[in-house]
Chains A and B, each alone.
Chain A
């Protein structure tokens, strides 16, 4: 059971965003994906659920090539892969309960009572109480992110993809989200890929960290390996010191 990208290339017009990505995320681990803005992290993540198709290469989820599946097969894969969007992407015309229930309504054989119970359970898992009838615009940034996470876990996915889950949050709320990510892994056994710019968060939640740079994976390793790496681009990123990068050019 794993997510695997093999030699994935993707360009948008003349801009080569991904230039041959090889990556395997194994069952039960949390991998953080770091890199400069515009380095293609979100593009990479969207390949995994078939929102973007590669120009070349393969994306495999549990051994199934995402880009060769018919609609029904792709929907089955998508039920196994929850996606937490950067700004949550909650449906603003719906209540929080309906947002969380959206994915469940596409699961065959689930009765309404089970859906209602599952919605409550998911909201409780992300520590959101009494928000079922409220609308996304009525919630704070941190609550919206948690509601997005509740929606993503509603179908009990094996994998969770987080696109900058703590960006724009205050440090305390960011820590709350980090703990939720850890809880998803420890309590639900979810395999996760997390895009983040927050290195403290990455060190806290990750088993491994990979750095995407100029369309390729520049560095990948355990938290300790990353902390001890002397790669100039990685050090510049971690320490927020662009001069380290300039010294290599």
Chain B
């Protein structure tokens, strides 16, 4: 009986200690990354390749997700709104939902898997194979070399990918409203423009920048502090994806609370 009580308490205690330790390590790395910004000669040449790896290479998966999201959103809007409100509201719902919520969040979550896992496993492997130590012995600041270009690439490229994905989602919604519903382009566009606010795009951009920071920063932190060989890399990668996904959802709610 006692074991049933003690085990969850012990588990919670260990989890709390680990969370605090991870937070401390991430904070320490963040301070180091800000300090390493001055070493442009180390990270400068690595920024564009990282922008390609993190941003450009993520576009296909982001567009794929956005396409089907746009189609489903249109069909669900039509199903919900039938006979209650004019059909052009389908355009309003698709546009508003894609820009404010699904474009940034679904793209963020997809990239938490693709980019976050990639960053954590790559840096983690370099840690356990002493490549990070080797960088230091060759007079490179590993934070400037590995962390700064990835985080900057995330900050720059996440909004770009989100904008493309959102546009794709709206276009897919538009196309499916023509092909699958009995709607005209004029109706869909009327709805799309009805509630559109330029601020919505800024709001999505702010969210996606913060998601870019979280995904790359969390991935880099777990990777950088990896211990214990291949198993350690696996653990770091899993934790990076889970933590950044949770933080994306928490930030999503925070931004809605603060900015809407």
Residue ranges of A at the interface with B (Cβ–Cβ < 8 Å): 46, 49-51, 71, 75, 78-79, 81-83, 85-87, 89-92, 102-103, 106, 151, 155
| B137 proximity list for chain A (CB < 8 A) | 49, 51, 78, 81-83
- Contact, CB under 8 Å: A106 / B139: yes
Among B122-170, those with CB < 8 Å from A are: 126, 129-131, 133-141
- Other than the given A89-B131, A89-B133, A91-B131, 8 more pairs (CB < 8 A) read A51-B136, A71-B141, A81-B137, A85-B130, A90-B131, A92-B131, A102-B138, A151-B134
| A86 proximity list for chain B (CB < 8 A) | 130
Q: How far is the CA of A71 from the CA of B35 in the complex (A)?
A: 12
| A87 proximity list for chain B (CB < 8 A) | 129-130
| A90 proximity list for chain B (CB < 8 A) | 131, 134
Report A64 CB to chain B, min CB distance, Å.
15
| B135 proximity list for chain A (CB < 8 A) | 102
Report A183 CB to chain B, min CB distance, Å.
21
| B126 proximity list for chain A (CB < 8 A) | 91
- Contact, CB under 8 Å: A46 / B133: yes
Report A205 CB to chain B, min CB distance, Å.
21
| A83 proximity list for chain B (CB < 8 A) | 133-134, 137
Q: How far is the CA of A151 from the CA of B139 in the complex (A)?
A: 13
- Contact, CB under 8 Å: A49 / B136: yes
Report B232 CB to chain A, min CB distance, Å.
16
Q: How far is the CA of A102 from the CA of B134 in the complex (A)?
A: 10
| A85 proximity list for chain B (CB < 8 A) | 130, 133-134
Report the 4 A-B pairs with minimum CB-CB distance, sorted nearest first. A75-B139, A89-B130, A89-B134, A103-B138
| B138 proximity list for chain A (CB < 8 A) | 78, 102-103, 106, 151, 155
| A89 proximity list for chain B (CB < 8 A) | 129-131, 133-134
Residue ranges of B at the interface with A (Cβ–Cβ < 8 Å): 126, 129-131, 133-141
- Contact, CB under 8 Å: B136 / A79: no
| A82 proximity list for chain B (CB < 8 A) | 137
| B141 proximity list for chain A (CB < 8 A) | 71
Partner of B140, one of A49, A50, A102: A102
| A75 proximity list for chain B (CB < 8 A) | 139
Q: How far is the CA of A16 from the CA of B140 in the complex (A)?
A: 30
Report A103 CB to chain B, min CB distance, Å.
4
| B130 proximity list for chain A (CB < 8 A) | 85-87, 89
Pairs across A and B, CB under 8 Å, 22 listed: A50-B136, A51-B133, A71-B141, A75-B139, A78-B136, A78-B138, A83-B133, A83-B137, A85-B130, A85-B133, A85-B134, A87-B129, A87-B130, A89-B129, A89-B133, A89-B134, A92-B131, A102-B140, A106-B139, A151-B134, A151-B138, A155-B138
Report A83 CB to chain B, min CB distance, Å.
4
Q: How far is the CA of A75 from the CA of B130 in the complex (A)?
A: 18
Q: How far is the CA of A81 from the CA of B140 in the complex (A)?
A: 14
CB-nearest residue of chain A to B129: A89
Report B17 CB to chain A, min CB distance, Å.
14
Report A125 CB to chain B, min CB distance, Å.
18
Report B50 CB to chain A, min CB distance, Å.
12
Q: How far is the CA of A106 from the CA of B136 in the complex (A)?
A: 11
- Contact, CB under 8 Å: A79 / B134: no
Which of A89, A91, A103, A151 is the most central at the interface, judged by chain B CB atoms within 10 Å of its CB?
A: A89
Q: How far is the CA of A77 from the CA of B130 in the complex (A)?
A: 20
Q: How far is the CA of A50 from the CA of B129 in the complex (A)?
A: 18
Which of A49, A79, A91, A151 is the most central at the interface, judged by chain B CB atoms within 10 Å of its CB?
A: A91
| B129 proximity list for chain A (CB < 8 A) | 87, 89, 92
Q: How far is the CA of A106 from the CA of B131 in the complex (A)?
A: 17
Report A85 CB to chain B, min CB distance, Å.
5
Partner of A79, one of B131, B133, B139: B139
- Contact, CB under 8 Å: A78 / B131: no
Report A26 CB to chain B, min CB distance, Å.
22
CB-nearest residue of chain A to B125: A92
Which of B126, B134, B141 is the most central at the interface, judged by chain A CB atoms within 10 Å of its CB?
A: B134
| A78 proximity list for chain B (CB < 8 A) | 136-139
Q: How far is the CA of A79 from the CA of B137 in the complex (A)?
A: 8
Report A102 CB to chain B, min CB distance, Å.
5
CB-nearest residue of chain B to A163: B130
CB-nearest residue of chain A to B45: A105
